[in-house]
Amino acid sequence: MDNKSTGKLGEDLAARFLEQKGYKVLARNYRTRYGELDIICHKEQSLVFVEVKARRNTSFGYPEEAITPRKIQHLKKAAWHYLEEKQQPYREIRFDVITILLDNNNQEKINHIKYAF
């Protein structure tokens, strides 16, 4: 399975995970000139921007290690773009990360990092 299909599977698993936890998914793969926001969701009065990283193994490091300071800056700019476009009030805005390690049988190990940055 290639990186693109691993990423798509990871995002599908993350969206399902969030919905099971009571989040309402508002958008997926929201594209801006600054980059893409994987999942935008809300729960109660919180708007949550979620970056999803999925890996089949840790040969190139753990999924969370792929979130660099540069990536964080791009995500923040993309989030501001979304907020300006939608102009909806939220009491809290936060950035979460969901990492997923998949084994050969597509069994997943999901880690939800709230307030990641």
On the CB side of 92, how many CA atoms lie within 13 Å of its CA?
A: 12
CATH of the domain at 11: 3.40.1350.10
pLDDT digits (tens, 9 = 90+) for 3-54: 678 888 899 999 999 999 999 999 999 999 999 999 999 999 899 999 999 9
Domain count, the chain: 1
The answer to whether 50 and 39 are in contact (CB under 8 A) is yes
Identify the domain containing residue 52 by its residue range.
3-113
Residue whose token pair is 């979620």: 50
Q: In the predicted model, is pLDDT for residue 2 greater than 70?
A: no
SS3 80: helix
Question: Could you tell me the pLDDT band of residue 1, with boundaries at 50, 70 and 90?
Answer: low
pLDDT at 77: 96
Q: In the predicted model, is pLDDT for residue 104 greater than 80?
A: no
d(CA 41, CA 25): 4
